[in-house]
Amino acid sequence: MKEKNEYLSNSSFYDESIYSIKTNLKYNKEYKNYKIIGMTSSKPNEKNTKALYDIAKSFASDGLKVVLLDFDLRMPKLDNLLKLDKNIGLTDFFYDNNNINEILIKDKNQENLSILLSGQKPNNPTEILDSSKVKNIIKDLSEKFDYIFINVPPVDLLADGAIVSTYCDGIILSFKYNDTKKEELDKAVENLKKVNANIIGMIMTHAKIDKNIYKGYFNK
C-alpha cells in the first residue's frame, strides 16, 4: 500500500506564505535589523490589511512583543477585520491627548500582539500623519516593542502613504491578483522612490495557486 504523503497536511499555502515572509524578515541579513515594517498598496481596496495582520500575529507567536498600527485614516479596515464595535485609536490620541497605553488594545487571538486602531475619521489626515506627535508615537513604541508593523495608506494620488513610508525601516508593496494594473504598480514604486522609501519586497494577494504544480514532488 502506498504511503500517503502528508507534506502539507497541517498547513495551507497561505499559512506557509506568511511564515516564509516572517522568516525572510527575521533572518535575511539585509532585513533582520529592521523593526518598523510597513505595508502599502498602489490603490485602496487591495485587501492587504489581513495579510499584514497575519504577519504580525506570526511574529508575536514567536514570543516577540509586536504592535500593529493602522495609519490608514481615510479608509480604516483593521477595526472591521477584528470585528470591533468601536474604532478608538490614533486620532483620539492626537486630538484628546489620551495616554497611548490607554488606547492600545490587546489582540484577542494572539498573545504578545497589541493593536493601535486609526480612530475616528479626521478632516485633516495628512496633517496628522505628518505631525511630530505621530513621529513621537512610533519612537516611543519602538522602545517598548520588538517589532512595529504599520498599515500604510495607499501610495496613490494622496500624500498620506508616502509620508508614513518614511517612518519605516522597510516597506512591503502589495498588489491584488488579476486586479492591479502594471501602470498602477509602477506609479506606486515611483511615488515611494520619490521619498526614498526602502522597498524591501512585494506581495501578491488573492493569488490562485494550482496545487497540481507540486504533484510530481509530493508523489516522490
Measured CA to CA, the distance from residue 10 to residue 120 in angstroms comes to: 40
Is residue 220 scored above 60 in pLDDT? no
Lowest mean pLDDT among 23-27, 65-69, 154-158, 215-219: 215-219
Q: Where are the alpha helices (DSSP H) in 97-214?
A: 100-103, 125-129, 132-142, 160-165, 182-194
* Residue ranges of domains in the chain: 34-218
Measured CA to CA, the distance from residue 71 to residue 40 in angstroms comes to: 10
pLDDT band at 210; cut points 50, 70, 90: low
pTM above 0.85, yes or no: yes
CATH fit for domain 34-218, picks 3.40.50.300, 3.20.20.70, 3.40.50.10470, 2.60.40.10: 3.40.50.300
First to last CA, the chain: 15
pLDDT of 141-151, one tens digit each? 999 999 999 99
Measured CA to CA, the distance from residue 165 to residue 198 in angstroms comes to: 8
Following DSSP, what letter does each residue of 85-107 receive, concatenated? S---BHHHHHHH---HHHH-EE-
Per-residue pLDDT at 66: 98
Considering only CA atoms, which of 130, 141, 53, 146 is closest in space to residue 99? 141
Which three-class secondary structure state does DSSP give residue 153?
coil
